[in-house]
């Protein structure tokens, strides 16, 4: 499971209705399970996303490593698009924040 900090002013993007909308737009399907939203796409067998705090998005994925490279590339692009819409941070910004957080301890 990964937790992503949400950019200030983008907390509305991880509200249940908005999170469901983002997943449907990007992955094509979404199903609510309790407080989590579940979907699948390409190499992602299952992706679960939920708001885990005022400014935190939790995402749990199960991947299928046996998919063709083209499907894997499309999956990575879709996943990054989803995270960017939900958190307000690009993949590069998320990487920098993760490195900074790891250095702090």
* CATH of residue 40: 3.30.310.190
Whole-number Cα distances in Å, 45 to 5, 42, 61, 99: 24, 7, 8, 27
Ranges under pLDDT 70 in the chain = none
Give the structural domain span for 74: 2-104
How many whole angstroms separate alpha carbon 69 and alpha carbon 72?
5
Count how many domains the chain has: 1
Outline where the chain has alpha helix (H). 16-27, 69-87, 91-104
pLDDT at 92: 95
Q: How many Å apart are CA 55 and CA 29, to the nearest integer?
A: 25
Which pLDDT score is estimated for 54? 87
Q: Are 62 and 49 in contact (CB under 8 A)?
A: no
């Amino acid at each position: 499971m990964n937790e992503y900090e949400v950019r200030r002013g983008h907390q509305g993007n991880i509200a249940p209705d908005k999170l469901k909308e983002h997943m449907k737009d990007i992955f094509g399907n979404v199903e609510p399970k309790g407080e989590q939203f579940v979907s699948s796409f390409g190499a992602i067998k299952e992706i679960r996303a939920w708001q885990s705090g005022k400014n935190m998005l939790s995402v749990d994925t199960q991947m299928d490593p046996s998919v063709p490279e083209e499907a894997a590339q499309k999956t990575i692009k879709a996943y990054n698009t989803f995270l960017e819409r939900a958190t307000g941070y690009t993949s590069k910004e998320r990487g920098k924040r993760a490195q900074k957080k790891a250095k702090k301890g």
